Structure 1
C-alpha cells in the first residue's frame, strides 16, 4: 500500500469516527473496580447537601451537586480523592488564588458496605438505592397483591377496551425476537422477578416490529467486535397488559406509568424495547449502573455515578442503539424507541 492510499484510509476512518460520534465506543473498556471499592460507591446526604462517590479509571472521585434538581449529577463539581490508606483519602481543591485540603474517610457496616462518609468535619449518611454490587437494599417492589386480587385485576384488564384513538397510525408487523441472531431474551414480566412481584405475561415470548428487529440485528453485529451482545428485557406489550400494570399500581403511584386510557405505552406499538448487554465470552449479563426498573437516580441515562466500566457499557449500548434508528430516553437508560417520528399504532394483540 502506498503512502497516499494509507493517508486516504486514515482520513476515511477519522471521518467515520467523527460522523458516528462513537468516541467512547472506540476507547478500550475500563477495567472492573474491586468489590471493596464498589461497596462504598453511591449517594450520601447530610447537612442539607448531597454528594456522590464514584470510581473513575482506578480512582475515587467525590461529586458535589448544588441543585437537587440535578438528578444525574451532570453539573456537579468533581474532586479526585488521593488514597492515603484503606478507606482514608485526601481531597484537594486548588484554585488560581487559593488551595485547600480535606480528609475523607468512609465507615462500613459489618458486611463491608459503606454507610457514612466524613469530609472534613461533616458527616454524610449513605442512601441505598437497590440491589447490586455495593447496594444492600432490596430490589424495588410495588406493594404486593394477593392471588385473589391478581385474579380480579387480570379479569378487569381482559374485559377493558382499548380506546379507538390509540389504534390510529402505522400498525407494526410483529415478529418473534428470537429471529434476531445472537440476541438473548430475558422477559422480565413473564416471571415474578420484576417490580410487580408477579408475572404480567402468559408467555416468555417477546415480539417486536419487524423493522425494529432488523435494526436490532444491526446493533448486534456492531457490538460483536467489542465482545458484547444484546439482552432483551421487554418489547411489545399488549394494551391489556399495560392496563393490568396500571390497575396493579397503588393509588399514590399511578403516575409512574402512562395512563393506558389516554396515552398508552410505547411498548404497545411493538417499536419500543428495554435492553441491556451480555458478554459473548461468558454469556452472562453485564453489570450496569443500575438494575432494570429501579426507580432511583441511577436509572438516568446521564447518571454520573457508578464505575467507569459501568458507564462505558451503558454509553456503548446507547450510542450503538441510536446509530441504528433507536432513540433513548433520559429517565431509563435501558429504554429505546425505534423510529420515534413514526406514528405507530397501539396494538392489543395477545402473544401466544
Structure 2
C-alpha cells in the first residue's frame, strides 16, 4: 500500500472538509436588511400594549408581548407579516379556536422613519431608542456636569481607598490590550462620547489580564475567516474610576452600576471586557442591534428584535467568546468575564 498517497488523500479530504465547513459558515451569515425596512423596526405602544417589529430573513414579523416582565420579548407571541404593497401587510392568526386575518399598516414621517403601526382597528405609536440605523432618538446621557463639578468628583474618588474585602485575592497580571493582534481598541471612557458625557480615563490605553488577553487572541483568530475582528470598548478599570462613576450618578440612577464600596466591578479585576465586532475590510464597527452602554431593552443578550444579521452577530460573538472561557451576562450583550473573576483582587493601579 502506498501510504504516502493515502496520507495525501486524507489530507486533501480534510482540507476540503475544513474549507467547505468555513464556506458553509460564511454562507449562513444573513444579509443586512435594507434601510427602508430598518426604519420601521422597533417598539410600538398603545392601548396598554407593547409590540415589537423585527426583520427575519427578509420578512417582517410582529412580536406581541404577553408579559411586561419579558424585557427582551424572548417569550412574545410571534406573527409573520405578509407584504401587500410598500408599508401595507397582513397578519394571519391561525389556531385551533380561530383563523383570522388583520391588516397592518405603517405610517412614516417625512424622513422615512416609522412613527405608527395600525393593526386591525388598533393604532400603536413608535417609541424610539438609541441612534443606530432606523432610530432617531438622541444618545442617552446623564445630567450634564460642569468642569468644576467633575474636578471635585475626581478629587474625591482619588482620595478613596479600595475596601479591604475587595482588595483581597489573587492579583491579575495586566497587559496592554493593543498587543493582542487584530483586536481594535476603542476606549469609550477615554473620550466624551459615552453615557457620562465626559472622559473617565486619562488615557486611551486599555489593559486586561494576561490570561484574558490570550483568550481574546484566540477569539480573534476564529473570527478572522468571517472577516470580523474584536473591538474592545472597555477592559480593566481602576477601582477609583468605578468610584468616580458612582459619584457621578444621581441617587435615582445609582443602581446602574455596582456599589464600589460593597461589590465593585468585575472590570476592576482585569478579567472583564466589553466587546463588539468590526469589519476587517473597512475597519468600521458592526451594527449589533444597539450601541455600547445603551440603557434600553435592546441591551439584553436575548433581545428578540432587530434584524436577522444583528441577532446572528450577537450570537456569533457570544459563542466564540464562551468557547475561549469567557462568560456572557444577560443584562449587557457586550459584557464578558473571563474565568472566575471573584477570586481576583480589585485593583487600583493606573492604566497609563
Scaled to the shorter chain, the TM-score interval is: over 0.9
Map 1:77-92 onto structure 2 (within 5 A).
77-92=77-92
Deviation at 1:342, TM superposition (A): 5.5
Tell me, in whole angstroms, the C-alpha distance in 2 between the residues paired with 1:25 and 1:260. Answer: 42
Tell me, in whole angstroms, the C-alpha distance in 2 between the residues paired with 1:229 and 1:286. Answer: 10
Which residue in the other structure is 1:273 paired with? 273
Deviation at 1:29, TM superposition (A): 0.7
Contact 2:30 2:57 in 1 (8 A): yes
Which residue in the other structure is 1:322 paired with? 322
Deviation at 1:122, TM superposition (A): 0.3
After superposition, the C-alpha distances for 1:178-201 in whole angstroms (9 at most, x for unaligned) are 110011000000000000000000
Determine whether 1:220 maps to 2:220. yes
Deviation at 1:64, TM superposition (A): 0.7
Which residue in the other structure is 2:263 paired with? 263
Residue 350 of structure 2: SS of its match in structure 1?
A: coil
Deviation at 1:340, TM superposition (A): 2.8
Which residue in the other structure is 2:32 paired with? 32
Which residue in the other structure is 2:51 paired with? 51
Residue 242 of structure 2: SS of its match in structure 1?
A: helix
Contact 1:188 1:194 in 2 (8 A): yes
Residue 298 of structure 1: SS of its match in structure 2?
A: helix
Contact 1:327 1:340 in 2 (8 A): no
The alpha-carbon distance between structure 1 residues 172 and 25, as it changes in their structure 2 partners (threshold 3 A), is farther
Which residue in the other structure is 2:348 paired with? 348
After superposition, the C-alpha distances for 1:154-210 in whole angstroms (9 at most, x for unaligned) are 000001111011011111000000110011000000000000000000000000000
Give the alignment's TM-score, normalised by structure 2. 0.93
Which residue in the other structure is 1:301 paired with? 301
Deviation at 1:96, TM superposition (A): 3.6
Residue 327 of structure 2: SS of its match in structure 1?
A: strand
Map 1:223-242 onto structure 2 (within 5 A).
223-242=223-242
Contact 2:271 2:341 in 1 (8 A): no
Deviation at 1:45, TM superposition (A): 0.9
Alignment length, in residue pairs? Answer: 341
Unaligned runs of 5+ in 1: none
Which residue in the other structure is 2:157 paired with? 157
Which residue in the other structure is 1:337 paired with? 337
Contact 1:63 1:77 in 2 (8 A): yes
Contact 2:41 2:54 in 1 (8 A): yes
Give the alignment's TM-score, normalised by structure 1. 0.93
After superposition, the C-alpha distances for 1:108-139 in whole angstroms (9 at most, x for unaligned) are 11111111100000011111111111111000
After superposition, the C-alpha distances for 1:264-310 in whole angstroms (9 at most, x for unaligned) are 00100000000000011111111111101000000000000000001
Deviation at 1:98, TM superposition (A): 3.2
Residue 309 of structure 1: SS of its match in structure 2?
A: helix
The alpha-carbon distance between structure 1 residues 300 and 285, as it changes in their structure 2 partners (threshold 3 A), is same
Tell me, in whole angstroms, the C-alpha distance in 2 between the residues paired with 1:71 and 1:87. Answer: 27
Tell me, in whole angstroms, the C-alpha distance in 2 between the residues paired with 1:177 and 1:280. Answer: 17
Deviation at 1:258, TM superposition (A): 0.2
Determine whether 1:292 maps to 2:256. no
Contact 1:326 1:340 in 2 (8 A): no
Residue 303 of structure 1: SS of its match in structure 2?
A: coil
Contact 2:266 2:341 in 1 (8 A): no
Tell me, in whole angstroms, the C-alpha distance in 2 between the residues paired with 1:341 and 1:196. Answer: 26
